[in-house]
Amino acid sequence: MANLGYIGLGVMGGRMASRLMAKGHRLVGYNRTRAKAQWLVDKGLMLADTPREVAERADVVFVMVANSNALGAVANGPNGFVAGLAPEKIVIDMSTVSPALSRAVAAKVREQGADMVDAPVSGSVSTLEAGKLSIMVGGERATFDRVRPLLLEDVGPKVTYVGGNGLAVSMKIATNLSLAVQMLAFSEGVLLAEKSGIARETAVDVIATSVAGSPMIQYRGPFVVRMPDEAWFDVTMMQKDVQLALEMGRQLEVPLPTTAAVNEWLTAARAMGLGGRDFAAVFQALARVSGVDV
């Protein structure tokens, strides 16, 4: 049993914290909106008032927040987690943020005598609950070796070391752009079939079970028939990752034409008021433009 902390108890972070508690670990957590963490308190989570308090009370601190600004907010300042760190403590940042920011925060963590790895996950609510997450890790190899048993046994079945700090979030961004592009292409195919006279449910089933049916299409494809009440990963969050990819593409001189296209449709979806819906809502944006009832 480890003494763990968790900062950011949203859709994924909250479920991951619950999973860690189910494995028998002691957990102290922080969430900007305290009420959203009450279900975890009911399960035994100790709720802290600040990220600093989490870092002071835990030996290993997980962080999963929405974006670069949110990471800066929970890391920096007198109440940030960096201020609460001590030698030998470890931060496992599972957020998808700018690689440059991830490296900068890791440097501040090391100034405290602690260490940090970036460890974003590939997967969704369904893969987390099924225990099938894939985790990529960037940072010092020795630190990775220390946290690997915790990540491998208690979070996800596949953990891959990809190199130094910032490289895991780079890998996550490269992965997520593919998810967005797949969803857009899938939506185009479904709409083309539907306007030809094929039932939407039939088109979804055929594509999802064909050679085009990646795991993401198989679990998210049905959302074009019925969207979940709670977004697994919403349009705004996906656009944040897509824009990080476009920024990386400009810096590294890699053309990303399909990523640029999906960015436009994510913008359209947000303009239609769909920003808080699962990013499968790009289908709804396309459907409205196509004159199809959704």
Query: Whats the size of the chain, residue-wise?
Result: 294
Q: Which amino acid makes up residue 27?
A: L
Q: Are 215 and 103 part of one and the same domain?
A: no
Q: Are 54 and 151 part of one and the same domain?
A: yes
Q: Are 155 and 34 part of one and the same domain?
A: yes
Q: Are 156 and 174 part of one and the same domain?
A: no
Q: Are 110 and 178 part of one and the same domain?
A: no
Q: Are 158 and 174 part of one and the same domain?
A: no
Residues acting as catalytic residues = 172
Burial class (CB in 10 A: 0-12, 13-18, 19+), 203: buried
Q: How far apart are CA 136 and CA 170, in angstroms?
A: 10
Q: Are 94 and 175 part of one and the same domain?
A: no
Q: Are 204 and 75 part of one and the same domain?
A: no
Q: How far apart are CA 273 and CA 193, in angstroms?
A: 26
The token pair at 246 is 């476009």
Q: pLDDT (tens digit, 0 to 9) for every residue of the chain, 294 residues total?
A: 689 999 999 989 999 999 999 999 999 999 999 999 999 999 999 999 999 999 999 999 999 999 999 999 999 999 999 999 999 999 999 999 999 999 999 999 999 999 999 999 987 787 787 777 899 999 999 999 999 998 877 887 889 999 999 999 999 999 999 999 999 999 999 999 999 999 999 999 999 999 999 999 999 999 999 999 989 899 999 999 999 999 999 999 999 999 999 999 999 999 999 999 999 999 999 999 999 988
Q: Are 175 and 152 part of one and the same domain?
A: no
* pTM value > 0.75: yes
The pLDDT, as a whole number, for residue 294 is 84
Q: How far apart are CA 177 and CA 201, in angstroms?
A: 26
Q: How far apart are CA 155 and CA 127, in angstroms?
A: 11
The pLDDT, as a whole number, for residue 125 is 80
Domain boundary (163, 192, 218) is at: 163
One-letter-per-residue 3-state SS of 129-190:
HCCCCEEEEECCHHHHHHHHHHHHHHCCCEEEEEECCCHHHHHHHHHHHHHHHHHHHHHHHH
Q: Are 90 and 61 part of one and the same domain?
A: yes
Q: Are 25 and 115 part of one and the same domain?
A: yes
Domain boundary (106, 137, 163) is at: 163
Domain boundary (105, 128, 163) is at: 163
Helix (H, G, I), strand (E, B) or coil at 94: coil
The pLDDT, as a whole number, for residue 57 is 98
Domain containing 277: what range?
170-290
Q: Are 37 and 182 part of one and the same domain?
A: no
Q: Which amino acid makes up residue 24?
A: G
The pLDDT, as a whole number, for residue 46 is 97
Is the distance from CB of 141 to CB of 164 less than 8 angstroms? no
Is the distance from CB of 32 to CB of 40 less than 8 angstroms? no
| CATH number of residue 283's parent domain | 1.10.1040.10
Split into its structural domains, the chain has a count of 2
The pLDDT, as a whole number, for residue 18 is 95
| CATH number of residue 22's parent domain | 3.40.50.720
Angle between helices 235-252 and 167-196 (to 10 degrees): 120
The pLDDT, as a whole number, for residue 198 is 98
Is the distance from CB of 96 to CB of 63 less than 8 angstroms? no
